[in-house]
Amino acid sequence: MTKKKKDEFTPIIISRDTAREDAYKRDLDAKRRDLTALDEYCSTFVSIEDKTILFKDFKETFLKMFYDKYASQFPSIVTLQKMIEFSSVDMDKIETLCKNIESIKIDLDENFQQLSEVDFNIYTKTQKENLLYATMKRLCQDLDTLQNNGVRLHPMSIQNGTMNTIKYDWRSQSMQPNLSAVHNNTRG
């Protein structure tokens, strides 16, 4: 049996970065939507078997595929640009979708599913933060116990008295550790 050293640090989850998670989900949905739109639009002109070609530099790939498919249907003096114009291909649409797709740095597989999960948890960074967070959490639980047993508490007074290391959470209607106080601990 191995014992953990007293000073060995193990980060603990203290919260979740919901703003970053929401932005990530919006970007993921936008990338999937643009990939689907690009696939559907371009499939009217060329056959796309491997959807991974849509991810990077697809405009050039599309032009090559288009030329390979339609070059024999036009006289040899007709340029690729004219072939595209005669076929009513909206290259601006393709270019815009390609730029949007490439600007979102989320890796997807051929079914437009994420290749890896992203961790949106917020962790403590030091053993001192672990101890401070545990103490703050315990204090909040003790305050909840007092309130549940009929003791009237004044959240603002408690918040001010602890130098904002704990704060009142209106959603849960209880005192909670102030996460910025955990990470920005300049006391003591």
121-157 tens-digit pLDDT? 999 988 888 988 999 999 999 999 998 999 998 888 8
Q: Averaged over 107-113, what is the pLDDT? A: 89
Whether the pLDDT of residue 1 is over 60: the answer is no
> pLDDT grade, residue 171 (50/70/90)?
confident
Backbone dihedral angles phi then psi of residue 150, each to the nearest 5 degrees: 95, 0
φ and ψ at residue 39, rounded to 5 degrees: -60, -45
* Residue 92 banded pLDDT, cuts 50, 70, 90: very high
Domain boundaries, the chain: 16-103, 124-183
State yes or no: pLDDT of 165 exceeds 90: no
What's the pLDDT tens digit per position in 28-58? 999 999 999 999 999 999 998 888 888 888 8
What is d(CA 17, CA 122) in angstroms, rounded to the nearest whole number? Answer: 6
Tell me which residue has tokens 């056959």: 47
7: confidence class by pLDDT, cuts 50, 70, 90: low
* 63-92 mean pLDDT: 91
Instruction: Tell me the average pLDDT across 71-96.
Output: 92
Closest CA to 39 of 26, 27, 55, 24: 55
Average pLDDT estimate for 175-185:
82
Q: Specify the pLDDT at position 51.
A: 86
Of 94, 97, 114, 95, nearest in space to 105 by CA: 114
Q: Is the per-residue pLDDT at 119 higher than 60?
A: yes
The model's pTM: 0.75
* Whole-number Å distance between alpha carbons of 131 and 34: 46
